[in-house]
Structure 1
Amino acid sequence: MSVKKLCPGLYCGRPRLNLTVFGECGVCPRGERTDGDKICRMCVESPELYDWLYLGFMALLPLVLHWFFIEWYSGKKGSYLYNFDCSFSVSSALFQHITALFECSAAAIVTLLVNDPVGMLSIRSCKVQMLSDWYTMLYNPSPDYVTTLHCTQEAVYPLYTIVFIYYAFCLVFMMMLRPLLVKKIACGLGKSDRFKSIYAALYFFPILTVLQAVGGGLLYYAFPYIILVLSLVTLAVYMSASEIQSVRNLVAKKKRLVVLFSHWLLHAYGIISISRLDKLEQDLPLLALVPTPALFYLLTAKFTEPNRILSEGGNGH
């Protein structure tokens, strides 16, 4: 049939059957969304910088959680040296960090390759126009107030489903690689200690999946601010827990410098994400503020040292 009137609702459209003939109003095929004339059009745009930054944020979440739980369950044991059949030594925690990085990197590459266009490290997408694009299931119209016209679709193709695909590949690669490698390398650990970081992943991957399913749209708009707040809080907590009160304390261990530079990269990532592409050039000078939180902490830490406050309070009495 040819187009006679616009379809109801925000996301109902007529699929194109050929150049001049269109189908009934309904859900658009995957990889398409409605245009202003309520015709289903194929998503042929390339993701914007902000879209890539969002996907990068969602890709970093499992990697950061992997690293956190590896450190958490390694504890003091992470400083011991384990080996392959005692032939040469290697740090168990460090090796697991590298393995987690490899798993997530491989999952990201494979996810891009299996998405349209297949076999290329690029994707085609539909532009995100508003928050409701992420929650089309809430906007199914009822033209006669009796029958609901179901037009639930991925209007933000593929930003919604590609994250689930990535998490699935992360889980597959982890289950294929990590148990065998950890069993081989962690000769000095008990069986329960070896796999605790893997057990943790079996919990946080379902949580991340539900988070994306329910709050994907909210995360899309809020992730730059989440990065900035969390990176500032975790940096302050880490420096406080490590009793870093001066530059000398900071450079005493290489691990502390690695943590510091990692947080600086997150600060820069958040600033660039907030700026977006249209304001990136004019906001680049803000990157000079990246070291400010750490410098502020080092300059003020000596004034907030608990023992000093208690001693001065006692002298006052």
Structure 2
Amino acid sequence: MQAVAVQPACLGLYCGRAVLAANGSTEMYGDCGVCPRGQKTDDHKICRPCTESPDRYDWLYLGFMAMLPLVLHWFFIEWYSGKKSSSALFQHITALFECSVAAIVTLLVSDPVGSLCIRSCKVVMLSDWYTMLYNPSPDYINTIHCTHEAVYPLYTIVFIYYAFCLVLMMLLRPLLVKKIACGLGKSDRFKSIYAALYFFPILTVLQAVGGGLLYYAFPYIILVLSLVTLAVYMSASEVESFKDLLLRKKRLVVLFSHWLLHAYGIISISKLDKLEEDLPLLALVPTPALFYLMTAKYTEPSRILSEGANGH
């Protein structure tokens, strides 16, 4: 065991030396290799504990990843409930309860245990998410494996959350559906649960492969998807005026839900660093819906066809 000053250089972007002992200002370091969980290399290639708190953008990212299973739950519950069952509302509430409890438990079991706060390492660049791609091979034969979670805990905490969501769903939802989903056939009442058994593995793979890309792109993904799904829903529901929106409460709920997503996307992009400049952007939230309602009557296919026929 030697001081780092007389040790050979530590190669690799994410390889570091763990602190083995400290005596005042003097520290003794181990060999160059992977940093322990919850630590990240500093500028001197020394493994240092993650002591920072996630910033606002980090929390918004975690919120986005937490919303994905909830939105998918709601979508498939609505898709398979149809108009025959009155149990959809209770299933929606149960899904919200499952995801909320899973999120709270995930924060409680994360370091520091028992607190809703978590400690993290700051994300500096995209490669921080993919340390496995930066293991050095000094002699081009032997590889020094330095793969660790440089974005601790933003990568693994999502997997833990999905696991808790899945466990809670399997414990609560089948009992609820069996009790109240009387309007559906035996083969249909559990389809929303079966759908979750498919999309949870897909979300897990998505986080494992594209977690870093999602971290940087999720605000724009929210805006694009919310705009597209709102237009598709209003078109499929044949909403062409404000009166059509007011006919059913469900349409208003869907509209306000999309507005919340728009606002979330705008906040994620702006980060609300300058409140006096960023808050007015939230006034743009209703713009897509208003634009659709004002232009829907001019894009009605039957009207376009009739005007084309009259033109001839």
TM-score class normalised by the smaller sequence: over 0.9
Counterpart Cα distance in 1 of 2:240 and 2:290: 10
Determine what percentage of the aligned residue pairs are the same residue.
Answer: 84
Alignment of 1:220-235 (within 5 A): 220-235=215-230
CA contact (8 A) 1:11 1:151 kept: yes
Per the alignment, residue 136 of structure 2 pairs with: 141
How much has 1:192 moved relative to structure 2?
1.1
1:66 maps to a residue whose letter is H
Per the alignment, residue 113 of structure 2 pairs with: 118
Q: Any unmatched runs of 5+ in structure 2?
A: none
Cα distance, 1:284–1:112 mapped onto 2, change above 3 Å: same
* 1:201 equivalent in alignment to 2:196: yes
CA contact (8 A) 1:14 1:39 kept: yes
Instruction: After the TM superposition, list the runs of 4 or more consecutive aligned residues in structure 1 that deviate by more than 4 angstroms.
Output: none
How much has 1:46 moved relative to structure 2?
0.2
Cα distance, 1:10–1:210 mapped onto 2, change above 3 Å: same
State the secondary structure of the residue aligned to 2:187: helix
Q: Any unmatched runs of 5+ in structure 1?
A: 79-90
Alignment of 1:101-180 (within 5 A): 101-180=96-175
TM-score by length of 1: 0.94
**Can you list the C-alpha shifts for 1:167-222, whole angstroms capped at 9, x where unaligned?**
00000000000001110111232211110000000000000000000000000000
Per the alignment, residue 92 of structure 2 pairs with: 97
CA contact (8 A) 1:45 1:127 kept: yes
How much has 1:144 moved relative to structure 2?
2.0
Which of 289, 292, 299 is equivalent to 1:297?
292
Counterpart Cα distance in 2 of 1:229 and 1:247: 23
CA contact (8 A) 2:272 2:279 kept: no
State the secondary structure of the residue aligned to 1:188: coil
How much has 1:76 moved relative to structure 2?
1.7
Of 271-280 and 251-260, more deviation after overlay is shown by: 271-280
Counterpart Cα distance in 1 of 2:47 and 2:272: 28
How much has 1:117 moved relative to structure 2?
0.4
CA contact (8 A) 2:62 2:158 kept: yes
* 1:39 equivalent in alignment to 2:39: no
Per the alignment, residue 271 of structure 1 pairs with: 266
Counterpart Cα distance in 2 of 1:123 and 1:282: 30
Which of 75, 89, 113 is equivalent to 2:82?
75
Counterpart Cα distance in 2 of 1:279 and 1:214: 33
How much has 1:281 moved relative to structure 2?
4.3
Per the alignment, residue 10 of structure 1 pairs with: 13
TM-score by length of 2: 0.96
2:3 maps to a residue whose letter is S
State the secondary structure of the residue aligned to 2:17: coil
1:45 maps to a residue whose letter is E
How much has 1:315 moved relative to structure 2?
1.3
How much has 1:280 moved relative to structure 2?
4.8
2:4 maps to a residue whose letter is V
How much has 1:153 moved relative to structure 2?
0.3
CA contact (8 A) 1:50 1:277 kept: no
Per the alignment, residue 189 of structure 1 pairs with: 184
Counterpart Cα distance in 2 of 1:278 and 1:151: 35
* 1:59 equivalent in alignment to 2:62: no
Q: Matched residue pairs, number? A: 305
